[in-house]
Structure 1
């Protein structure tokens, strides 16, 4: 009989000691005992699927919230010639779900140019898809359009009517429309090159008279004045809205579409007049940027959805390499759609962290004797820090991976420094250090995760008498010490 650690089953707490065989002090799960019981999915355990990338060669990704038990995905295709929709009962299932072409651009004339950034919205029990399109004689003469479907399934091309232009007071370059409802009103947000403003695009908001039209005077709520918004091009575009914690949060993307592309953040009080530009606050710094350690470049043009358990999910695109193929980043097909969990601080601010690289589920470790703190690394030394807006999310995120000390052990990989692993040095210091060959490092950087009340004990593989401990903000090792040696995973 063979054995393996059932990490997800242990994390869910679904297996008591009756379902676990102890072999040399290591909790193991027999294949034969669990063969009839499917393991829970990553989404069930961690809230968010861990497939990365989620959908290949799809930029400007948009995933709907669950509608009648289904998620629907759309995004820009590299050819910029059509609108596509795919659907699945899970976010993870969107990866290989069949894709339906619901509309193709004409070969000439109006809308015969670039087709960009579609979004699907359910409004008054009908589907609408908003997108931007250029003309065949000028692919960059971009305007905004909407289509309506009378069918319940937006993947069915038969339900979609002809595109209709959504007009604004100016006829200039405009794109990246989104819409959201708040306090009984529906709003439309888009990016446009206003003739009197010497930037490429700014963000505008207006109330909607119908799903096809705005009403009243648009208000400019953000323009690219900050240095990080003007790398290559002076751009604010790709807005996305999420309403949480008493505020209306709006992300947007800025700069050129290569590795310099990044996301910014606006917010307004939920009781404020959203059409008053003075209601909106703007972060002076980007909130989501290229990360050299995780090899994710140019993250941006995001949307938001919720996972099967209600967890907030960030949807975005990024490349796996710096630079781009060809003479223009717009024509590099390798911007892939990705998802990761969106966190919230104790003060109600969204925490984006870093664009994570390939790998399995991501967790944060919190000692049960102080649940408002998290294990974090700073200067590659681990400690336990208070959960505040100043605590970098990426410094508190880890992955459990197969242990260097062999079967029955796990190593703990840093998410924002994935070449480093939690290690207890010979002097007892707890660090994240690069992998080293040899038995000494393997024993110091491998653990056994043992279920305990409301969490897990992390036993050092190289010395079964020692466990990770929380000691007044420090992370140390020693004998079991009640709640100080138990960590919750979130």
Structure 2
């Protein structure tokens, strides 16, 4: 992607206008800028290779910290960067390695790094070398200012739970003066591999309350291969507490569900929570991303753009046990929001440059079965996402993100989507850009009667 062609408009709230051909405004120089500076998140795919169950901290003292499961399941690693994009090539440090035998000598899964009361804590899943399925949550602690220093880390201990049973994927969050633990566990007397629980904490390694079961796998999308709810992650926004979780086997069936509670509700009361009936993030054959899940959330360098962090494979068929397939890669993409304040996940995006949504005062440009519509509040995020793909001659084609084999194609007044695509040029205008065809400088994309068509005047599209 030639970033010099990424022409940003004026004030974000400016309304679209229709300009006649030739009234484009003076083009302005746009210096080379990173994806994160322009669109909030990097588009490098993957962000970090062979790191499943990825976790990226919030920015602490100007740095992001990344950790995740290594394919050998034998250690906890960290890397740090001042930017999200910088995590790709950041040096990785091992801060803890499992013992060669005995307790804690088995699997090391799903580490998360948290800053609590001036200390660093890593929550992770571990098992016994002599009984690798004796899976339990553990905590590491460091009093040093720099979590990258291995000398500061020691085992604080195992988190004692209500039942001594298979338990994993612990995460923690603070809300309204209380700290909570979320985790997945196989509860006795329940016919499921794991359900998701919440409890209040007395300190970063000790529970204060009895557990509350928030969700157990019962729906079709939760029981493919295994009956699994696991990998909870928390996001508090818009007066609500959102908890994502992952479901089904860790192959292409792996997907994400969503729980929602009012921010003022009793989070330990199961009745406070509502589970969305359908998964919110699933595999995509079109974008070639399979098994998206075990996510976390962070915020981009702008301090306001929410970022979804997750793993997914770039192939569907797996040889052998999916647990030992090493190619679950860490990925990031922008998290969007519905007008009602609930999260909008879209699809796990494929390879390519920065992603944009095009809008005018009537709504967002939306890929339909036959062309491009404009909808006030589309619920299908993927169908509103596009990439401007640079050609060798300085022109661009507009590619659908959720159907990357399709490109915007102009034939007379008709605007459709085909495998070829029509070369276009973006022209800076007040509030955004106009888009004209390269072959005919007098022919523009414009919105009319709720659809994108063409004309001698062009709609000003805001890029977001």
In which range does the TM-score fall when normalised by the shorter chain? Answer: over 0.9
1:163: how far off? 3.9
CA distance in 1, matches of 2:213, 2:241: 16
Length, aligned pairs only = 450
Unmatched 5+ stretches in structure 1: 15-24, 436-440
> What is the CA-CA distance between 1:28 and the residue it aligns to?
8.5
1:392 counterpart residue number? 380
- Is 1:433 matched up with 2:418? yes
**1:290-312 C-alpha deviation (Å, 9 max, x unpaired):** 00000000000000000001200
1:234 is matched with which residue? 227
Indicate if the aligned counterparts of 2:3 and 2:32 stay in contact, CA closer than 8 A: no
Contact 1:5 1:28 in 2 (8 A): no
Secondary structure (helix, strand or coil) at the match of 2:323 reads helix
Counterpart-to-counterpart distance in 2, 1:220 and 1:26: 59
Q: Is the 8 A contact 2:312 2:330 kept in 1?
A: yes
In the alignment, which residue of structure 1 is the partner of 2:65? Answer: 72
Other-structure match for 1:410: 396
Q: Residue 457 in 1 paired to residue 434 in 2?
A: yes
For the Cα contact (< 8 Å) 2:139–2:158, is it kept in 1? yes
Alpha-carbon shift at residue 161 of structure 1 (Å): 1.7
Match for 1:374 among 364, 379, 383? 364
Equivalence for 1:313: 307
Question: What does residue range 36-185 of structure 1 map to in structure 2 within 5 Å?
Answer: 39-185=32-178
1:187 matched residue in structure 2? 180
Deviation (angstroms), 1:26 = 13
Unaligned runs of 5+ in 2: 12-23
Per-residue deviation at 1:40?
1.6
Pick one of 442, 445, 460 that aligns with 1:468.
Answer: 445
Write the deviation string for residues 316-358 of structure 1: whole angstroms up to 9, x where unpaired: 0000000223x20000000000000000011111000000001
Question: Helix, strand or coil: the match of 1:206?
Answer: strand
Cα distance in 1 for partners of 2:274, 2:10 equals: 43
Q: Is the Cα–Cα contact under 8 Å of residues 156 and 205 in structure 2 kept in the other structure? A: no
Give the whole-Å Cα distance in 1 for the aligned partners of 2:455 and 2:370. Answer: 20
Which one of the candidate residues 358, 373, 388 is aligned to 1:383?
373
What does the per-residue CA deviation read over 1:427-454, in whole Å, with 9 as the maximum and x for residues that have no partner? x22112112xxxxx6xxx1111000001
Deviations for 1:180-201, whole angstroms, at most 9, x for unmatched residues? 1111111000000001111000
1:357 paired to 2:343: no
CA contact (8 A) 2:255 2:283 kept: yes
| Structure 1 runs of 4+ with >3 Å offset | 25-29
Of 372, 382, 407 in structure 2, the residue corresponding to residue 421 of structure 1 is 407
Question: Would the aligned equivalents of 1:12 and 1:45 in 2 still touch at CA under 8 Å?
Answer: no
Mapped to 1, the partners of 2:130 and 2:3 lie a distance apart of 60
Q: Distance in 2 between matches of 1:380 and 1:242?
A: 37
User: Do 1:145 and 1:165's aligned partners in 2 also have CA atoms closer than 8 Å?
Assistant: yes
Give 1:488's aligned residue: 462
For the aligned residue pairs, the C-alpha RMSD in angstroms reads 1.8
Name the CA distance, whole Å, in 2 between partners of 1:458 and 1:39. Answer: 21
Q: Deviations over 1:375-420 (max 9, x none)?
A: 00111411111115xx2000000001014xx512111000011111
Q: What is the CA-CA distance between 1:12 and the residue it aligns to?
A: 6.7
In the TM superposition, 1:276-295 aligns within 5 A as: 276-295=269-288
Matches of residues 189-204 of structure 1 in structure 2 within 5 Å?
A: 189-204=182-197
Summarize the Cα distance change of 1:178–1:83 in structure 2 as closer, same or farther, 3 Å threshold: same
* Local SS of the residue matching 1:394: helix
Give 3-state SS (helix, strand or coil) of 2:8's partner: helix
Q: Distance in 2 between matches of 1:323 and 1:202?
A: 27
Aligned partner of 1:478 in structure 2 is 455
Question: Contact 1:302/1:315 (CA < 8 Å) preserved in 2?
Answer: yes
Deviation at residue 169 of structure 1 after TM alignment: 1.1
By relative contact order (CA 8 Å, sep 6+), the higher-ranking structure is 2
Report if aligned partners of 1:84, 1:101 keep a CA contact under 8 Å in 2: yes
Local SS of the residue matching 1:102: strand
Q: Tell me: CA distance 1:412–1:197, structure 2 relative to 1, closer, same or farther (3 Å).
A: same
Q: Does residue 265 of structure 1 match 2:258?
A: yes
Q: How far is the alpha carbon of 1:425 from its aligned partner?
A: 2.2
Q: Tell me the TM-score normalized by structure 2.
A: 0.94
Residue of structure 2 equivalent to 1:246: 239
Return the match for 1:7 from 5, 8, 11: 5
What CA distance in whole angstroms lies between the structure 2 residues aligned with 1:75 and 1:185?
A: 26
Cα distance in 1 for residues equivalent to 2:453 and 2:268: 52
Mapped contact 1:356–1:416 kept (Cα < 8 A): yes
Change (3 A) 1:155 1:12: farther
